[in-house]
Amino acid sequence: MLTESLTRKVYLATGSAHKDLAVEIAQHMGLPLQEDEIKVFPSDERYFRFNESVRGKHAILIQSLASGKNGSVNDALMELVLMIDAARRASAHEITVVMPYMAYMRQDRKAKGREPISAAAVINLLQQTGADRLVSIDMHSAQTQAVFDGPFDHLTAEGIIRDALAEKVGTHHDEFIVVSPDGGRAKTSEIYAEELTIDVAHMPKRRSKDDPSVIKHPDFIEDVKGKTCILIDDLIDTAGTIVSAAEVLQKSGAKEVIVAATHGVLSGPALERLSNPAISELILTDTIPLDNAKEALGSKLTIIPSAPIIASSLEAIVTRDSLLQLFGGKNYS
């Protein structure tokens, strides 16, 4: 909890993309969440105005770059840009931008000629507008931090997801196995398996030559028969890969398949796919609004609050304490 003198120096604001999460963060920090003016003009242009003075204060601006009932991903991004610009022009002493989920982060390299590196473009836009510090959770590639010329705090939900899984595993270590759904998640899956003291298996993945959207896994995976399989990913978008993997595990004799991820983007056919009986439980954090997922998936969906780790991190930032110690170094692994 911040001291009263520090509290007076912090201005906590949120955009409209995921206000519920910002409310929870404010409650954990013991700070008021300001009711600033946000509106959309008939032309669909965005408007933002601070309702109180931010002069000389540390402005903490919270906005998940995700679509929802208040607009698209790009609406959320533009609203955030306006918030940063307003804080800079109103003479905020420091501007910290908190993106629990950062859109465009998967486009972190040039895979083909004549295409942008979209993650870099977004980060540069935020910095040029006036952001002094960025904060996000479980980036697709932690190296993306290098684009920002300043502090970029990379938080991780690994601890809270691992704790939720540990409760399920209990002392029945031989009955569970972590399965990597593709090569990109192999290292992370091995870390989870080691910390949960259970086995790990890897599933090779390839895309169809005729249709790259079609994911192909092997027809059978050894060592999963009769076990509860845990699939770990950083985010779930259209859910094609994760559902394909779950179906293979089910056919291979798995007792159950639990899917866990930090970010539930859940685009297009994702919710329909995730209702597949091959998946017994879906565990997500609430970095992105999950109202539609709650309605569609019901008791199959377990939501882990992300506000506590964000609030603790922001308190450390404000007081100049170490984030490395807060996450035991996992935010840099």
CA-CA distances (angstroms) from residue 129 to 96, 104, 110, 125, 153? Answer: 12, 18, 24, 6, 18
The phi and psi torsions of 77 (rounded to 5 degrees) equal -65, -45
- Of the candidates 19, 39, 57, 205, the residue annotated as catalytic is 205
Per the document, the length of the chain is 333
- Dihedral sign, Cα of residue 292, residue 285, residue 98, residue 235: negative
| Greatest CA separation for the chain | 62
Which helix (DSSP H) or strand (DSSP E) does residue 230 occupy?
Answer: strand 228-236
- Dihedral sign, Cα of residue 210, residue 212, residue 215, residue 218: positive
Q: Cα–Cα distance between 256 and 226 in angstroms, integer?
A: 8
- Three-state DSSP class for 321? coil
Contact yes or no for 261/232 (Cβ under 8 A): yes
CA-CA distances (angstroms) from residue 106 to 95, 122, 155? Answer: 25, 12, 17
DSSP letter assigned to residue 34: P
Give yes or no: 205 in active site: yes
Helices 73-89/118-129 angle, 10° precision:
30
Which helix (DSSP H) or strand (DSSP E) does residue 75 occupy?
Answer: helix 73-89
Could you give the residue numbers annotated as active site? 205
